[in-house]
Chain A
Amino acid sequence: MTSISVLKNVHKKGLFGDHENKNEDSLIKVSERKNLIIFQIVQYKSSSISIKDINIDGLTLNDETLKVSNNNDTRILWCGPKSWLLVSSKKDLLNSINSLFKESDFAITDLSHSRAIIELEGNNSVEVLKKGCPFNFNELKKNNCVNSVFNGITITIDIIEDNPNKIRLFALRSFGESLYHSITDASLEFGYKNI
């Protein structure tokens, strides 16, 4: 859980960009999430354990490109072959994760303090991402995720909702402010509300 804000020096609440004479509901909402635990789960190449037998908070590890296994609290993002990112608001999940995975088969790394998380809400949020990211967003639907770049910054994009869009972006903590500036600059033309 990231208790210390990554964006405390840059993220100010209010309305920005081209927001005048627009309904607040039509603006992009930009917020920072800092109450989530993040774990990287990597299965060793030599491991022969079937991932279908593993159950985390009622979810199984998915081996399909772009897919996210999810429930209300927890999301497991596919990051590559035998590699996942677990994101959850359940802090007590930490203890069960360590007992679920054998050290000889999996590497579990706590990344909770090393990521900046920015959430975008609103239908124009995809248009914002298209400005800096080369990925074809027409392919992405609800509960899809993708690793890509935004203005040269490596990011993970998680589509939580697609109507209206709710998108969670993860970047290395040290790139957080830089990503935030890139995102808010790209949002100016649509108008955005920092919450």
Chain B
Amino acid sequence: MLHIKCPYCGTRSQNEFAYGGDATIKRPELNKEVSDKEWDTFVYFRKSPRGKHLEFWHHISGCRQWFKVQRDTTTHEIFKTLKPNEDI
């Protein structure tokens, strides 16, 4: 079981969290002309890296806040957790 440090509540068991996907994906800018391919890439295409990965997690059974986690996808080691507006 993973222990994840929520930036708001502290370290908690993985049971309290829900995975929220890749945190490196940027939504196309508002009101900008977007091609079908760009939109398709934004919605569907994800990398599946081996090693460090920045991802969103949701503390769904705790403070209900979203935050970022930098995790190694092979060892599950968690290097850092950040608030959504923070960058590594």
**B61 to A81, Cβ gap below 8 A?**
no
Which of B12-20, B46-54, B72-80 lies at the interface with chain A? Answer: B12-20
Which of B27-35, B37-45, B62-70 lies at the interface with chain A? Answer: B62-70
**B62 to A80, Cβ gap below 8 A?**
yes
Confirm or deny: B9 has a beta carbon within 8 angstroms of a beta carbon on chain A: yes
Residue of A with least CB distance to B7: A81
- Chain A residues numbered 20-56 whose CB sits less than 8 Å from any CB in chain B: none
Hey, which bits of chain B sit against chain A, CB under 8 A?
A: 1, 8-10, 12-13, 15-16, 59-65
Confirm or deny: A62 has a beta carbon within 8 angstroms of a beta carbon on chain B: no
**A80 to B8, Cβ gap below 8 A?**
yes
Q: Across the A-B interface, how many residue pairs have beta carbons closer than 8 Å? A: 42
**B9 to A135, Cβ gap below 8 A?**
no
B contact residues around A134 at 8 Å (CB): 1, 12-13, 15-16
What are 26 residue pairs bridging A and B, where the CB atoms are less than 8 Å apart in the complex? A65-B8, A65-B9, A65-B10, A66-B9, A79-B63, A80-B8, A80-B59, A80-B64, A80-B65, A81-B8, A81-B65, A83-B63, A134-B1, A134-B12, A134-B16, A135-B13, A147-B9, A147-B61, A147-B63, A148-B12, A148-B16, A148-B61, A149-B15, A152-B15, A154-B60, A154-B61
- Cα A149 to Cα B62 in complex, Å, equals 8
- Cα A148 to Cα B12 in complex, Å, equals 9
- Chain A residues numbered 143-185 whose CB sits less than 8 Å from any CB in chain B: 146-149, 152, 154
- Cα A79 to Cα B60 in complex, Å, equals 12
Known: A65-B8, A65-B10. A80 touches B63 (CB 8 A): yes
A contact residues around B13 at 8 Å (CB): 134-135
B contact residues around A65 at 8 Å (CB): 8-10
- Chain A residues numbered 73-104 whose CB sits less than 8 Å from any CB in chain B: 79-81, 83
